[in-house]
């Protein structure tokens, strides 16, 4: 199935926002038992590290790649390249495995998943903002 170029940004928004929301929800459900100032600061640190070194760069890279496409329509999975899908698969495996097996303590899940989920959600929302800018710019040009 082929979609318009700007729809790829919307798909990235939806995928990363859904993933981020789900991980954030998991973290927040166990957080009340571990709610301390230190844990909140650690969650903020996890958020900042992932935003600065991973997801912030990922959003810029993939937005630029999508905007550089010359064709009008693209296969709907082209919102990411292979490397990004591998990263997503590794992150999912690395997150689900320890949690389901009981290897990750609840305090870790609360702190880490909250920071990571918020960072993923923020990345998804940034893709959404990029989509909105592109749609708005196209509308202004047509006027």
Walking along the chain (143 residues) 10 residues at a time, the average pLDDT comes out as 93 95 96 98 98 95 94 90 85 86 93 97 97 89 74
E strand or H helix that includes residue 93: helix 82-101
Q: Where are the domains of the chain?
A: 2-142
Q: How far is CA 33 from CA 29, 96, 104, 106, 111, in A?
A: 9, 21, 15, 9, 11
pTM: 0.91
Residue 3 pairs with which residues in a beta bridge? Answer: 74
């Amino acid at each position: 199935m082929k979609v318009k170029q700007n729809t790829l940004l919307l798909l990235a928004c939806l995928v990363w926002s859904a993933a981020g929301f789900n991980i954030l929800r998991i973290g927040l459900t166990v957080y009340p038992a571990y709610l301390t100032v230190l844990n909140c600061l650690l969650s903020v640190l996890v958020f900042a590290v992932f935003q600065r070194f991973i997801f912030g760069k990922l959003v810029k890279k993939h937005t630029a790649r999508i905007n550089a496409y010359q064709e009008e329509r693209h296969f709907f999975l082209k919102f990411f390249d292979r490397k990004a899908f591998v990263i997503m698969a590794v992150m999912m495996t690395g997150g689900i495995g320890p949690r389901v097996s009981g290897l990750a303590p609840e305090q870790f899940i609360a702190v880490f998943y909250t920071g990571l989920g918020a960072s993923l959600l923020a990345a998804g929302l940034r893709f959404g903002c990029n989509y909105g800018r592109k749609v708005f710019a196209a509308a202004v040009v047509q006027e």
